Amino acid sequence: MQHPGQKIIHRYFSVSLFLKAFDGLIETIGSLILYFTSIKTIDYLIFKLTSPELSEDPGDRISLWLVHLANNISLGAKNFVVIYFFLHGLVKILLAVFLLKKKAWAYPVAIIFIAIFVVYQLYRLSHHFASWLFVLTLFDIVVITLISLEYKYNLDKFKKPSLS
């Protein structure tokens, strides 16, 4: 028997997975672009991006932060960011695919993976609050809840031996 809210939960679950997979795709592509972009080019692009704003408002916090970031980026830091976002994005894509295919093992793995990032994001928020990170953390908590509910609803199917 189907739980009354199961259809709605499944719809939200599916949408959240597509959003996670899309985000993973952006992270993976972005990391590859960053890999092939020299530090000199990054400096130049940030200079071009921030110059008009800083000439208008020399105290613009975002522009100043970007300039500071560009001036202090090292090859090691760049490589770390490339590897981090490539792997993070790839794992998101793979987990979304396996969850959409209803692979039983993917549910607990996804919950653990996302929970680790929630803990890290909460740690970051405790040191420096950022609205975008707060929203991302809330979204991740909702996704964990949806994955848990979807897993619970499908648990009987996972336990039955498949004839195919």
Among 37-41, 59-63, 65-69, 71-75, name the one with the lowest average pLDDT: 71-75
Per-chain mean pLDDT for the chain? 88
The predicted pLDDT at position 155 comes to: 87
pLDDT digits (tens, 9 = 90+) for 64-76: 888 887 777 778 8
pTM listed for this prediction: 0.74
The arithmetic mean of pLDDT across residues 36-64, rounded, is 88
Which residue, among 151, 86, 82, 147, has the nearest Cα to 113 in the 3D structure? Answer: 147
* % residues pLDDT > 70 (the chain): 95
Q: Where are the domains of the chain?
A: 6-157
pLDDT digits (tens, 9 = 90+) for 93-138: 999 999 999 999 999 999 999 999 899 889 989 988 888 889 989 9
In this predicted structure, the answer to whether residue 63 has a pLDDT above a threshold of 70 is yes
